[in-house]
Amino acid sequence: MNLTDKTYQELKTSLINILGHNGVVADSKGVEVLSRTNVPHRNIPSFVVYPQDASDVQGVLCMARKHGVPVWPVSTGKNWGYGSKSAAYPGGITMVLERMNRIIEINEELGTAIIEPGVTYAQLNTYLKENGIKLWVDSSGSTKDASIIGNALDKGRGVTPYADHFGSLCGMEVVLPDGRKIRTGGGPQDGYPSWNTYKWGTGLFVDGLFAQSNLGIVVQAGLWLMPEPEAYDFFVFEYTAGEDQFADFLKDFRSLIFKGVIKSRPHLANDFAMLCILDQYPNDLLNGKQYLDPEAMQIWKKRMKVPEWTFGCGLYGTKEEVRLHKSITKKTLSRYGSTHMTGICAEKNFMGRMANRIARLVLRLQGKSPQFLDSLIPAIELFKGIPTDHFVKQVYFKSFDQKPASEFEPARDGCGFVWIGPVVPFSPEHISKLMNLVKPLYKKHEFEFFLEIIIESPRSVISLFGLFYDKKSPDESRRAMALYKDIRDVAYKHGYPPYRASVESTQTALDCNPLLKSLITDLKTALDPNNILAPGRYGARARKRE
């Protein structure tokens, strides 16, 4: 949308009145930098605003309603590869909630927290550690500076037994598009002791209305944290069996998860996905091509000693359970590859340091790269809820010559990558079907095939396809976009909708189900008739008035 000069000036004055100069970015350079994305697509807003509390949120919404200018809320906007802080349209107000970052309450006994949307994994983890609270916060595999609530509301995933981030929210305080501030759960607005302990509440369960949606801005939420288990271990599995055994492997893997032997929610990374983490892009192997052909990939894989599939995995429980689960896991998986048990290496004591040295030595002798060894400790820690930026730096591996050592911001720095993660039943038939449909598309568009099979539950996986491209090259950007669209089309065509939409695809996210979309349109029309709150997000948009 284009604001008239008058609206722009009036709105700017009002926003500054509410938030102060420090809370409003209106200059063209500022809004340009803040709306940068890793995906090929983005939109530049008129304003980026930073509320400090719920009443600021209400104030901004009030002005937005008055001027008819839409508000696109993000928590910290670090959903890199999905759209970051960019709205699905240009010219509106982008609301960044990162300054609302209070940890309001921790209940160690019941394993609950109440936090604001600006609270990050790193912040909560540090708070817990510094206060000696024996609870773990499950972290996304992306940056430690992402918002816990933001990721959960976008149905993001972690890797510990508390990997289901939306499922781990319990109790919300929400500002509705018309400014009402409600609390979900069905108990009294104040003085409701089970607000953060009982998810379903009394009466209809409305919390789901605020996930992947635009019906309200969550300004506080309850979160379940995992009590530190008595024992923990970690292993890396490398799949070395042939392709013909992959279906059996998936079935056995699933059975370990169904049984609770594996309570962790690992990501099964294909060769290229693993190489992105371990290495820089080997331009020397391109041979004049635009991408690494199968021969080049083979050379690279050999060079880095990377197998077809790799996953890391935590084990949790009493000492005896962890011992037992280790032995069952080893026995079950040894048919398909090798299992390196290395959990002890991250322990901060003499034994841990010794084990780490020995493990490095042994793995080095097995031919593992130094990068593999360097990834070990961050991985072990990630599976015990300690967030890390170690893995997310992979996104620099193609756009830049070197992964950054510290200070980094892939959106700002223009690293080109896109994620698309169709949801697939956890059965070899479905997983292979989609994989075989998508793989040729990468070849067609001249990219390397990237797949991480994210274990969602024993019943579903997310087949996360990644696209890395050079954002500075218009041709690569165009090809990346074309590949993205092809993957999306084929996934929808076969009934595998992505678990998460990007700024590019969000408006059409529900087009595959017009009847459901009509219900959601009804809800949006009832709660936000003038489309003030993030219109189009996940397909929800109020009907035009008759």
- In the region spanning residues 501 to 520, those forming contacts with a second copy, defined by CB under 8 A, are 501, 509-510, 512-516, 518-520
Contact 314, 234 (CB under 8 A): yes
Least distance from C-beta 423 to a second copy, angstroms?
5
Cβ nearer to a second copy, comparing 150 with 317? 317
Q: How far is CA 506 from CA 124, 296, 501, 502, in A?
A: 30, 36, 5, 6
Closest listed residue to residue 379, CA positions, set 234, 275, 253, 280: 234
Contact 144, 76 (CB under 8 A): no
Query: How many residues at the interface with a second copy, by CB under 8 A?
Result: 95
Three-class SS state of 89: coil
Least distance from C-beta 57 to a second copy, angstroms?
16
- The 56-95 contact track toward a second copy, x by CB under 8 A, reads ----------------------------------------
- Quick check: 538 binds a second copy (CB under 8 A)? yes
Within 141-200, the residues that bind a second copy by CB under 8 A are 155, 166-167, 170, 176, 180-189, 191-194, 196-200
Cα torsion 86, 442, 488, 438: sign: negative
DSSP tag of 545: P
- The 106-135 contact track toward a second copy, x by CB under 8 A, reads ---xxxx-----------------------
DSSP tag of 228: P
Backbone angles phi, psi at 317, to 5 degrees: 150, -160
Cβ nearer to a second copy, comparing 280 with 460? 460
Cβ nearer to a second copy, comparing 195 with 372? 195
Cβ nearer to a second copy, comparing 58 with 212? 212
Three-class SS state of 65: helix
Question: Which amino acid makes up residue 129?
Answer: K
Q: What residues contact residue 446 under an 8 Å CB cut-off, 6+ apart? A: 289, 290, 291, 479
Least distance from C-beta 194 to a second copy, angstroms?
5
- Determine which residue in the list 27, 32, 205, 240 makes contact with a second copy, applying CB under 8 A: 205
Within 383-442, the residues that bind a second copy by CB under 8 A are 423-427, 430
Cβ nearer to a second copy, comparing 236 with 501? 501
Within 257-276, the residues that bind a second copy by CB under 8 A are 258-261, 263
- Quick check: 497 binds a second copy (CB under 8 A)? yes
Least distance from C-beta 541 to a second copy, angstroms?
12
Backbone angles phi, psi at 460, to 5 degrees: -140, 150
Please choose, out of 300-308, 374-382, 472-480, 523-531, the segment that lies near a second copy by the rule CB under 8 A: 523-531
Least distance from C-beta 283 to a second copy, angstroms?
37
Three-class SS state of 103: strand
Cβ nearer to a second copy, comparing 177 with 410? 177
Residue in the block written with tokens 């790269």:
369
Least distance from C-beta 177 to a second copy, angstroms?
11
Within 436-475, the residues that bind a second copy by CB under 8 A are 456-460
Cα dihedral: 287, 292, 296, 298 (round 10): 180
Least distance from C-beta 223 to a second copy, angstroms?
12
- Determine which residue in the list 117, 141, 150, 229 makes contact with a second copy, applying CB under 8 A: 229
- Quick check: 328 binds a second copy (CB under 8 A)? yes
- Determine which residue in the list 50, 80, 162, 224 makes contact with a second copy, applying CB under 8 A: 224
Q: What residues contact residue 505 under an 8 Å CB cut-off, 6+ apart? A: 488, 498
Measured between alpha carbons, how far is 294 from 296 in angstroms, rounded to an integer? 5
Which residues sit opposite 486 in a β-bridge?
Answer: none
Least distance from C-beta 522 to a second copy, angstroms?
5
Q: What residues contact residue 540 under an 8 Å CB cut-off, 6+ apart? A: 213, 214, 215, 510, 520, 521, 523, 524
Contact 427, 458 (CB under 8 A): no
Cβ nearer to a second copy, comparing 134 with 412? 134
Side-chain half-sphere of 361: how many Cα atoms within 13 Å? Answer: 6
Cβ nearer to a second copy, comparing 8 with 198? 198
Three-class SS state of 455: strand
Closest listed residue to residue 472, CA positions, set 409, 398, 404: 398
Cβ nearer to a second copy, comparing 204 with 358? 204
Which residues sit opposite 164 in a β-bridge?
Answer: 157
Please choose, out of 83-91, 225-233, 412-420, 436-444, the segment that lies near a second copy by the rule CB under 8 A: 225-233
Cβ nearer to a second copy, comparing 473 with 525? 525
Least distance from C-beta 252 to a second copy, angstroms?
13
